[in-house]
Each structure stands twice: as C-alpha cells, then as structure tokens.
Amino acid sequence: MTDIAPSTGPASASEHSAAGHSAAEHSAAGHREVERIPYDVVVIGAGGSGLRAAIEARLAGKRTAIISKSLFGKAHTVMAEGGCAAAMGNVNSNDNWMVHFRDTMRGGKFLNNPRMAELHAKEAPDRVYELEAWGALFDRTKDGKISQRNFGGHEYPRLAHVGDRTGLEMIRTLQQKVVALQQEDAVSHGDPEAMIKVYAETTITRLIKDGEGRIAGAFGYIRETGQFVVFEAPAVILATGGIGKTFKVSSNSWEYTGDGHALALLAGAKLLNMEFVQFHPTHMVWPMSVRGLLVTESVRGDGGVLRNSEGKRYMFNYVPDVFRAQYAETEEEADRWYSDPDHNRRPPELLPRDEVARANNAEVKAGRGSPHGGVFLDIASRLPAEEILRRLPSMHHQFKELADVDITKEPMEVGPAQHYVMGGVEVDPDTGESCVPGLFAAGEVSGGMHGSNRLGGNSLSDLLVFGRRAGLGAAEYVGRLGAKLPVADEGEIEAARTEALAPLQRPDGENPYAVHSDVQETMSNLVGIIRTETEIKKALADLETLGVRASAVAAAGGSAYNPGWHLTLDLRNIMLMAKCVAAAALERQESRGGHTRDDYPGMRPEWRKVNLVCTLDGDEIRISRQPVPPMRDDLIALFDRAELKKYLTDEEMAALPAEAPASVAAASEEAH
Amino acid sequence: MSYKAALRVWRGDHGRGDLADYAVEVNEGEVVLDVLHRLQATQAGDLAIRWNCKAGKCGSCSMEINGRPRLACMTRMSTFTEDEVLTITPLRTFPVIRDLVTDVSFNYAKARQIPSFTPDPSVGLGEFRMQQADVERSQEFRKCIECYLCQNTCHVIRDHAENENAFAGPRFLMRVAELEMHPADTADRRDIAQDDFGLGFCNITKCCTEVCPEHIKITDNALIPLKERVAGRRYDPLVWLGSKIARRPRSTGTPKVPDNRH
Amino acid sequence: MTQVSDAPAKTRAQISQKTLRTDRWWEQPAIVATLLTIWVTYATVHVFIGKWYWVPQYHYLTPFYSPCVSGECVPGAASLGTWFGHLPPIIPYAVVSLPFVLGFRLSCYYYRRAYYRAFWRAPAACAVREPHQKYTGETRFPLIMQNLHRYFFYMVILISILNTYDVIQAFHGKTGGIGFGLGTLIMLVNVVLLWCYSLSCHSCRHITGGRLKHFSKHPVRYWIWNRISWLNARHMQLAWTTLGTLMLTDLYIWLVAAHVFSDFRFYN
C-alpha cells in the first residue's frame, strides 16, 4: 500500500513539542488510504471475554481477528485479583449451580436476566476446567483439585484462584491458547496467522453497516502508524470492558473509555441499566497517585475486617434486612465462620460490594474515617505474617512498594472507587447477539447478567461463559449468512475517516486532557456513589457544556502513536457514557445495588420489574423503560417465598405458582 | 510538598532522537508515570508513552529511568532527590516506535516458537489432579507480567543484536522451564531449549532477576534448573557412553514450532 | 488476502552513552575483581611453596594440601599415602584434588556470574554496554564445559569427606590422644561451611529433587530439595565465606607450621 506512516524527521525534540508538527504531515494524514482486511469474525477487545470468544470462533472454523487496544496480554482482566466463581464444589460439596444462581440473583437484587444468571452458574465450572486443560495452574486443594475461596455474597467457597493474581493467570492462559491455535495453523495452513490474528494497539472508532442495517465491518486506526483500517466482517463481537475512565477515582485502566458501549449505541443497539455502576468498597486512598488502586476482596474473604477510626468493626451495623438471615450478628459468630462455615453465619464484611461500599462511605461521612479519608482494612491482626504473604502476595507488594505500608504489620487505608459497570449492551443470553444483526457483545460491555450489582468473582466466570457463547453465536450467524455477505457502506467509512481526522485538522481546539479531567470531576462529584436528583440534573447540564467543549478539542502532532489524538477520539465515547449513566440515574427513582439515591432510599418492588434502556436518537440520549425478562417457574422455585417477598410486588407474589418447596425443586434438578 | 523536577526525556522515532529537557511539577507520593502524564497533559500532548494499569500488573510502562530498566508506574519519585535530573529513555533492546514506546514484537514471535502446553490427551475435562507442591514452581514463573524488562536488560541481545535469532531471552527460557515443570505436561523441550532457544548463551549474570518487577528468581529457579536439565540430557558422560554402547539413537525431544510467517 | 502494510523498518533508539546509570554500578565488579585476585594470588603462592602445610604435633593439614599424595609429602601428612615419586615443583602436592576443587568453583553458577561480570565485563553491570564485539556465551568450547559442573560436584563431595577426615585427625593432642586448639576449631568451622557451600550448589539442588516433575510422589526428596533450596538461596554468601575460611585456615596452619606463633590450645 502507498502512503503509510508519515515520517517527519525527528531531528530535534522541539519539533515534537505541541505546535511543532509540520503541515506536510497533516495533509499526509488527510489523504491516507483506508486498508481493507476481510474476516469472518472480528472481536473487539483482547481481555478475557474477547479472547475466549475469538478462541471459540476459531474453533468453529471462522477466520477471526482480535482487535486489542493495547498490547496482546495487557488487558484490564489482569487486574482481577480474587478469583473466578464456579460452583465446582471442590471445597464444600454442598455447592452447585443452583446455589450459585441464587447468590447471583440476590447480589443483583433480582434485576438480573435470569437466563443469563442460569447459564452462567451452570457453565462456569466447565469453563474453568477448560482453562486448566489449556495450562492454567490454579491453587490446589489437598486432594489435588482446584481450590476455591470465599468471597462476598457467595454462600460457599467458590472462587478458583491463583493467590491474588487470578486475572493474570486467566489472560495468560487464554493468550497462550491463542498462540497454541496459531501453532496448529502454522502446521496446517503454513501461516500461524491464517485463521486467528491479533491486531495489537489498534482502536476501533466506528462500526460499519450495510444498506440493510446489518454489521459489515469495523473502522479503526493502528496506533503505531495511524493507519486507518476497515475490518470487513459480517460479525463483530464487542468485548471492550467498561467505562471506568468516565469517573475520576476508578480502578480501571486507561482503555476503559466505554468504547464498546459507545460503538453499540452509535450502531443502533440498546444499552441496559447504565445507572448501575459498581463502586468497589476497598481501594487504596493514599498516596494520591495510586488513589483508586484495587485492594482485593480476598483480603476480607481470608479474614480481613473493616474498622473505623475508633477501632470499631462497624459492618455489623450495616446489614440490610434482605440479608439479615444470612449474616452473623456478633464478632464471635463471624469469627467462628472461617473455620466452621456450616454452623455459623457469614461475617458482614462479606456482604455484596454495594452494601460494603455504602457502609465505608457512611463511616467516612460520619467523621470516623482514616487520616486520608478512607477506613481501615485490617488483616495484620487476623493472620500470621507468613500466611498473609502466601495468600496475598500482590497486595503485600502493592502496599509495600507504593505506600510503604507493610500489611502484615499495619492496617490498610481503603475507600470505595468506581470498579465495574453492570449496565451494557442488551444481548440474547444464549448467543450474545444484540438487536443489531451481526453485532454481539460479551463480558463487562454486555448488560443484564449482573442485575443491579455484580458479585465479586462473577466477572471472570462471566467473561468465560459468555465469551464462549458470543464466539459460538457469531460463528453460527456467519454460517447462516452463507454467501449473502453484507457489504460495507462506503459513505459510513468515509464519515468515520473524516470524524477520526477532525481533531488533527482543527487548528486551535481545546486540550483534550483538560476536558477529560472535567468530565471525570463532574461524574465523580455528581453521579458518584450516592446520588440525588438535583445533583444529577446539575451533572446533565454540565455535560451539555462539556459536550460542546469535547467536540472542539484538537490534537497536536501527527497520527503516529499520538496519545493526545487518541484521547480526542476516546472523549466522544466517554461523553456518551457519562450522559447515559446520568440520564438513567435520574430516571430510576429508587436505590438498588450500584445505584443509590439519597432522595429515594430503599428498593421499590415496582422498579424491580423495570429495565432502563439507553438509545441514541440522532445526537440525543433517550431513556426508555422495558420489562425485566421473567424468571422461569423452575428457577423461581429455587427461592423460598419469604425471600421473594422482599423483592417482588404483591401482584407478582400472587401470580407465583402454588407453593413449590425449594428443596423439592432443587433435589429434582441435576446437580451439574 | 510539591516541587519542579528536571526531566530529560528521549523524544524521536526511527531510531533517531534526542533528550529533551522539561521541568515538571511533582507532588507527594507520585511515581514517574504520574509525572510523565502531567508532562503529557500540560506540555507535550503527543508524548508517546505506553501504559495501562498503573499498578504494576500489566507490564506496559517499561522504560529506562536513569539508565535502569524500570516500570514507570512502580518507580516512586521519592527514590530520587529533588535536584536529581531524571533521564528517561525507551528500552534500548527493541526498535523504537516513537518517544518512549518500543516495538516489542520480537517477544511475541519468540513466544510462538515454544511448543505449547501438551497434556496427556486421555485426561478429561476437570479430571486433572495436581498437588500444590507440584504446581508451585511453575506458578512462580506464571507471575510474569511480560514487561520484557528482562529481555531488554539481557546483554546477550541488548549488546549483540546478531544473537536475536538464536536466543529467546530470559522470559521465554523461563516459559520453557515453566512447561517442563508443569505437572501435567508431557512434552520434552530440553533439546530445543539448548539448540533453538539459545540457553547456552545465558551466562547467568542475573540481570534478568535484578530487574524483574515481580521479583521472580528467574536465574536461580528457571534458567539454572533448565541448564541442569539440559546438562543431564546432553552433557552427561555416562548417558553419552551408554547410548554409544547400546547404539540407541538419542531421541530428540519435542521439536520447535515452525515460524513460517511471511 | 490483504495485509495491513507493515510499519516502516524501525531501529533501536540510538543512544551513544554505554550507560545512563547514575549510581556507582562499577563499584561491585571492582570489589569482586580485587578480592578474587588477592585470593587467587595467595592460594597460588602457598600451593606451590611446598612447605608449611602440616603441623605434626597437632596433625593440622591445610586443605590446600589435602590429600598430600606427592612423594615429597612429609610422612604424617599423607593420609592417603603417596601415589607418586618426586614431582616437579610445577605440580602441587594435592594434585589429585585441587583440579576438581578449582573446577568446581570455576564452573559454579555463582562464581561464573562473578567473574563474567568482574573480569570479562559481559556485562560489568546490568544495562551497561559490554566491550566485546561478539558474544557466544556458553554455547561452544571452552565455556560449554561449564555444563560439567555436576561432575565436579560429585568429586568435591569426596574431597569434602576427606577434609572432614582431616578435621577428625586434627583433634590430636601434642602428647598423643585427643586434644584440640584454635587450629582445630578453625578447621572445623571451615569444613562445616565447605559442606554448606557444596551442598547449596545448584547442581546438588537439581540432583536431589529439582529434576523431579512431581514432588508429591517423592516426599523425602521434596523435603531435601526444600532444605537445599534454603541453602541455595545463600550460595553466594557461602561462596565468599568459604573463600575467607579457606584462606584463614591455610594461613593459620602456615603460620603455626612456620613457627611464627604457636597454636592456642584449649585442651592438650
């Protein structure tokens, strides 16, 4: 191809400074050709769900491209620490998919798509075993099986883990499986990249459709050169993760700019329940530069407790009514649970994340916080030093290196930060397909699975279960199309190119870093962990102004590996996500899971029936209501009526099938 | 509390470039990556930096700070004095893309040459039984975040680019060791470790271990045990004599994966 | 099939300085080079002197002359008897052990690191450019011989047994029977540390357990491997300490044998 990367002489550093790039380069970028690369399936995102989807599509015989915004193997999945929830029953044989399903629904406050929660609970064990067969080395039980650990909201020890670096193990295993498949292709096709290829440091900015509104490809740029590319494919799987960079204090990495959410929205898909944003209760609060760095829930799963500045273990005061029956009321009972879980109730530190995050927040607001505005997480007084080092090596390392705190000797200072978004693209549970033909989604970018709040450990299993399903779904969709392949609309490609080049050609727009920082400030302050109508309205007004600023940002320099330019393009997505979250948060007048309204405290059963759907109408965000998919009778029968009563409306209770004792229904089910 | 640090940052592409001087504000508790981000946000919007998690878990922000290969996100500013000039350059062993970003594709190519995990095909899903004692050695190597600081530091390729074909580097020799010690693996990579991945080039000067941000004992726990395994197979006079007497052709182990990329 | 055009050929960042390190990186190799030079010079001198290696009244034999097998050995010192007649002075008396001891230390994974860095400067310190045009490491003769380390290890175990025997002999009083002095104590400490150094060797760690794929099937060897691994983590410290104790033992016996001072006796 002609006219590739511009090569300005980098003779001196001054040429690279803000205004230094030559006009020649701008025009070079302006005339750049767009390369076309045909594939059967294009997976956007190379984290857990993206890789799992790609592996499945390749196993189904489809030529598959993996588009990775960073290098291969660096995805945000590596940050997952605690583990991967799967009811294998290796540690407690009472565990099975039904218990896992119940825990997931409770954690999500019954707003989950029940079919997704069911598939997830049923298939997670096999997905974990698959990883093992691909070389993953999980920690083991005495009898040589995969060990499982306790986690918030999970009734039994359920998380397959490797110390506190489970996400890294998962991403590496999937990465190595992709490599193994490429090695097979090197033998059978003479080219390792014949059937599955990773496009590292490549960003998609637009999905391209054909005249009939079907997916026909994806438009993007390669970071290194700035080269524009269209991946021509009838099926695109979004696996881009979350929207963390919409918020100021977030545990998410820079890539989490809501790309997949925004691409779907722009392509006409529906986003579900964007108001549900998970604020994980424990992140580092000090030093400032690491504020928001995750402190794994395993610290609490392994015995760590939360204390306020008075040294009081305050979580006992924050057990909500719906969970009263399952959680200990005294410190003695809670402490007994670690060694005898069958006869004692769980410590309240292991409540679902939303509850703990709110409690931490409340303690700080009440003036009982730690010196740097957090609370104390104490493991030092609970476990011997060598045990802490064995179970939580990364945490020890992280605090030692970054805060000079030795967690085997002193408590950690922690506080809540944005961690995950439950909302996402509405998809068919079985195939991962959205309402746009050919567009699939899996993992954090998809919605419904986790309801209003995700349980820790359910994310890694979600990635595997629905990554595989989306890969299969896409492969089947492509198979069904046969020769009737969609053809990318040239107008859309040209529009995407113009849009991407605009910030480089704007002579004196605003600095994108400043706008981004203001959006984050607005969202964290006004649509954060606790929300009110007045604040959300203020946020929406501010976002209007910010939107105008965002559309006028400019990037200095050329298009080759220019972070300033990349941010200008990401800003569009960040703005869309901020608006979706704020608009949905304003609409939902109750508090549930990851959405807490100070002006509407408490859950409202009538709102449990409602999913809020975010769509794009021209340039405007629209929020509409749509019913939550009903639970099948056999799934309802897994709960007892007393519990259902806390969530369902009276009419719903009345419509329930006549008394079906949970135990009987459960016993009749297969345990696997 | 805050002060202006003097930074000299390598800027350029296609190998050519220079150190550019900047003065950037530094606040308490910050790491080098924070300061580079501030530089990017306020003075050099197009400064190319590769980073992701900013928590020492992804291994993206590898660079050389005052000549030492480091992760920028794990290098605290408090380890330098306020009047110290910080010289920040890209990794020297890999071709530079722009500024502090290098092309690390060498590593991905090497990864693809190593025969993958090869379990006994008769073991069904969920039927693996492995003891903790048996997985611990390989688990240590699987802590690797692929920051490639070891690859960058190793003088075998850093100072001798001509060895790039013959030497896989510490990270991938460690990967071979990891698979060799994997309790469920059945392949034998000892011969290719020596012949194709250049284990013999390693002179165990331990720089890989010195720079490893995960504190993996690469040399003592992976490279030397691998050398010992190779020695047992290849340089054992008794084994050699035995095979001569029995006239048994020596098996050659699992072959390297062809890298027939065009 | 269309491929994305490759990016233009790239080169490494061209930075002329051999290192940008600002710390005292040259210090460590300089210290190592100095100490090793002093030690080797000292040992060479005493090994070839052919005197002052044996204290007859206490049966002190320096490890540098054990086993004394040359025809020139004084009678009491030749614990294994003399194997040769008179040897030319270029051959040390302990000709059957010194090559193995030397080989063991030369091919030791720690010393290799030390002398490659300190003398060969490949590399002198991490991220400091080495001065050589070409580098083949241990892929060819002679350095490929480093792979024979474990056979030196086997020999050194035999020699360590002999050294232990020498220490037992050194519990000898001047009036006959049992006795011990400062010399005995020094020899004892030396031999204990020599055992620790030899057993902490990477080859030993491999042979005893490291070569196993399934520790769980060999609990005893796993236990041994864990102990050896603990020692192995201190291999460098032991390598230096034993250089020190070897030199101290030899020097002490030298000076006592040369009547510079007499042994400090605790008993008989």
Query: B243: exposed, middle or buried (C-beta count within 10 Å: 0-12, 13-18, 19+)?
Result: middle
Give the C-alpha separation, A444 to A452, whole Å: 13
Mark yes or no for CB contact B92/C148 under 8 Å: no
Neighbours of A103 (CB within 10 A): 27
Residue B3 has pLDDT above 50, yes or no: yes
Q: Which of C1, C2, C8 sits opposite A4 (nearest CB)?
A: C8
Q: How many CA atoms lie within 13 A of A408 on its CB side?
A: 14
Min Cα–Cα distance to chain C from B68, Å = 6
pLDDT category of residue A657 using cuts at 50, 70 and 90: confident
pLDDT at position B260 = 63
Find the CATH number of the domain harbouring B90. 3.10.20.30
Is B206 part of a structural domain of the chain?
Answer: yes
Last residue of one domain, picked from the residues B102, B137, B153: B102
pLDDT at C246 over 80: yes
Q: Is the pLDDT of residue C142 over 90?
A: yes
Query: Reduced to 3 states, what is the DSSP secondary structure of residue B164?
Result: coil
Residue B160 falls inside a structural domain: yes
Rounded Cα gap, residues A242 and A244, in angstroms: 6
Mean of pLDDT values over A185-202: 96
Q: What is the pLDDT of residue C88?
A: 84
B249 band by pLDDT with thresholds 50, 70 and 90: low
Q: Which helix (H) or strand (E) holds A611?
A: strand A610-617
Q: Which two tokens stand for residue C12?
A: 């490494």
pLDDT of A67 reads: 98
- Rounded to the nearest angstrom, the minimum Cα separation between B146 and chain A is 8
Residue B189 CA to residue C149 CA, distance in Å, equals: 21
Same domain, B94 and B110: no
Marked catalytic residue, from A300, A469, A588, A592: A300
Which of A70, A140, A223, A372 to probe the B interface (max B CBs under 10 A)?
Answer: A140
The whole-number pLDDT of residue C223 equals 98
Q: Which pairs count as long-range contacts for A475-484, CB under 8 Å and 24+ apart, including other chains?
A: A475/A40, A475/A41, A475/A56, A475/A57, A475/A60, A475/A61, A475/A62, A475/A235, A476/A60, A476/A431, A477/A234, A477/A235, A477/A431, A477/A433, A477/A437, A477/A438, A477/A440, A478/A40, A478/A41, A478/A62, A478/A234, A478/A235, A479/A60, A481/A234
pLDDT at A258: 97
Task: Supply the pLDDT for residue C6.
Answer: 57
C7 part of contact set with chain A, CB < 8 Å: yes
- Inform me whether the C-beta atom of residue B238 falls under 8 Å from chain C C-beta atoms: no
Are B77 and B181 in a shared domain? no
Which residues from B are below 8 Å from A139, CB to CB?
A: 132, 135, 139
Tell me what pLDDT residue C86 has. 81
The three-state secondary structure class of C60 is: strand
CA distance A572 to A499: 10
**Domain that includes residue B202, residue range:** 105-246
User: Span A284-311, mean pLDDT?
Assistant: 90
Residues B116 and B234 in one domain: yes
Q: Which two three-digit tokens encode residue B83?
A: 């009047």
CA atoms within 13 A on the CB side of A134: 21
Nearest to A260, CA basis, from A277, A241, A274: A241
Whether residue B87 is found in the same domain as residue B116: no
Separation between Cα atoms, residue A202 and residue A200, nearest integer Å: 5
Nearest to A184 by CA among A198, A173, A174, A194: A194
Residue tagged 């490759």 (tokens): C6
CA dist., res. B29 & res. B173, Å (int): 36
Q: Are residues B130 and B242 in the same domain?
A: yes
- Verify that B140 and B70 share a domain, yes or no: no
Residue A88: closest C-alpha in chain B: B126
Q: Would you call B64 an interface residue with chain C, using a CB distance cutoff of 8 Å?
A: yes
Q: Which of C17, C114, C12, C137 is nearest to B156 (CA)?
A: C137
Angle, helices C149-169 vs C182-199, to 10°: value is 160
pLDDT at A289: 81
Closest chain B C-alpha to A622 CA, distance in angstroms? 32
- If residue A615 lies in a helix (H) or strand (E), which one and from where to where? strand A610-617
Contact B224 C10 (CB under 8 A): no
A280 is catalytic: yes
| Two structure tokens written together for A460 | 């890694």
Mutate to test the interface with A, among C5, C14, C15, C213 (most CBs of A within 10 A): C5
Asked whether the whole model's pTM tops 0.95, one would answer no
**Which whole-number Å values give the CA distances from C37 to A69, C143, C146, C243, in the listed order?**
54, 21, 21, 12
Domain final residue, candidates B72, B102, B132: B102
Determine, for residues A227 and C1 on separate chains, whether the beta-carbon distance falls below 8 Å.
no
Catalytic residue, candidates A63, A154, A261, A280? A280
pLDDT at position C37 over 70: yes
- Asked if C85 has any chain A CB less than 8 Å from its own CB, the reply is no
pLDDT in tens, A325-337: 999 999 999 999 9
Quote the pLDDT of residue B244.
Answer: 77
Same domain, B70 and B195: no
Statement to judge: residues B148 and B45 lie in one domain: no
Q: What was the pLDDT predicted at C254?
A: 96
Lowest-confidence range among A4-8, B58-62, B78-82?
A: A4-8
- Tens-digit pLDDT profile for residues B65-115: 999 999 999 999 999 999 999 999 999 999 999 999 999 999 999 999 999
pLDDT 10s digits, C58-116: 999 999 999 998 888 888 888 888 888 888 888 899 999 999 999 999 999 999 999 99
Residue A224 has its nearest CB partner, among C2, C3, C7, at: C7
Over residues B164-176, the pLDDT tens digits come to 999 999 999 999 9
Establish if A277 touches chain C: CB-CB under 8 angstroms: no
Cβ atoms of residues A432 and A470 within 8 Å: yes
Residue B260 lies in a domain: no
Task: Say what the ipTM of the complex is.
Answer: 0.95
Tell me the per-residue pLDDT of B184-239, one tens digit each, with 9 for 90 and over. 999 999 999 999 999 999 999 999 999 999 999 999 999 999 999 999 988 887 77
Residues of chain C neighbouring B228 (CB-CB closer than 8 A) = 150, 202-203, 206, 210-211
Regarding whether B27 and B134 lie in a shared domain, the answer is: no
Q: What token pair was written down for A573?
A: 């997505």
> What type of residue sits at position A455?
L
| B111/B214 same-domain check | yes
Closest CA to A598 of A534, A520, A543: A534
Residue B133, domain CATH:
1.10.1060.10
A513, amino acid identity: Y
Q: A33's torsion region: left (phi>0), alpha (psi -120 to 50) or beta? A: beta
The proportion of chain A whose per-residue pLDDT surpasses 90, expressed as a percent, equals: 82
Kindly report the backbone phi and psi dihedral angles of residue A63, in degrees, each rounded to the nearest multiple of 5, phi listed first. -70, 125
The secondary structure element, H or E, covering residue C113 is: helix C109-118
A230 Cβ under 8 Å from any chain C Cβ: no
Q: What is the mean pLDDT of residues B8-34?
A: 93
Nearest CA in chain A to C5: A1
- Mean pLDDT computed over A192-209: 97
pLDDT at C22 over 80: yes
Residue C80 confidence (pLDDT): 86
Q: ω before C123 within 30° of 0 (cis)?
A: yes
Strands A235-238 vs A439-441: parallel, antiparallel or unpaired: parallel
Pairing between strand A64-67 and A196-199?
A: parallel
d(CA B118, CA B134): 16
Q: Is residue B235 part of a domain?
A: yes
Residue B204 lies in a domain: yes
Average pLDDT along chain A: 91
Cβ–Cβ below 8 Å for B96 and C206: no
Smallest CA-to-CA distance from A161 within A150, A175, A174, A152 is with A150
Instruction: Let me know whether B21 and B47 are in one domain.
Output: yes
- Do B41 and B68 sit in the same domain of this protein? yes
Which chain B residue has its CA at the smallest distance from C148's CA?
A: B235
Query: Residue A28: pLDDT above 60?
Result: no
* CA distance linking residue A377 with residue A379, whole number of Å: 7
Q: Touching check for A365 and chain C: CB below 8 Å?
A: no
pLDDT tens across A238-285, in order?
999 999 999 998 888 888 999 999 999 999 999 999 999 999 999 999
Please report the pLDDT score of residue B105 as a whole number. Answer: 95
Query: Nearest by CB to C203, which of B15, B200, B228?
Result: B228
Whole-number Å distance between alpha carbons of A295 and A394: 10
The pair of three-digit structure tokens given for residue A462, joined into one six-digit string: 């979600």
CB–CB of C123 and B67 under 8 A? no
Which chains have 3+ CB pairs within 8 A of B?
A, C
pLDDT number for residue A30: 44
The span from the CA of A388 to the CA of A639, in Å, is 37
Is residue B37 in a domain? yes
Average pLDDT over residues A363-375: 92
Mean pLDDT to the nearest integer, B105-132: 96
In chain B, the number of structural domains is 2
Q: Among A14-18, A381-385, A601-605, where is mean pLDDT lowest?
A: A14-18
Alpha helical stretches, state H, A588-647: 605-608, 633-636, 641-645
Q: Which of C3, C10, C140 best probes binding to B when mutated, by most B CB atoms within 10 angstroms? A: C10
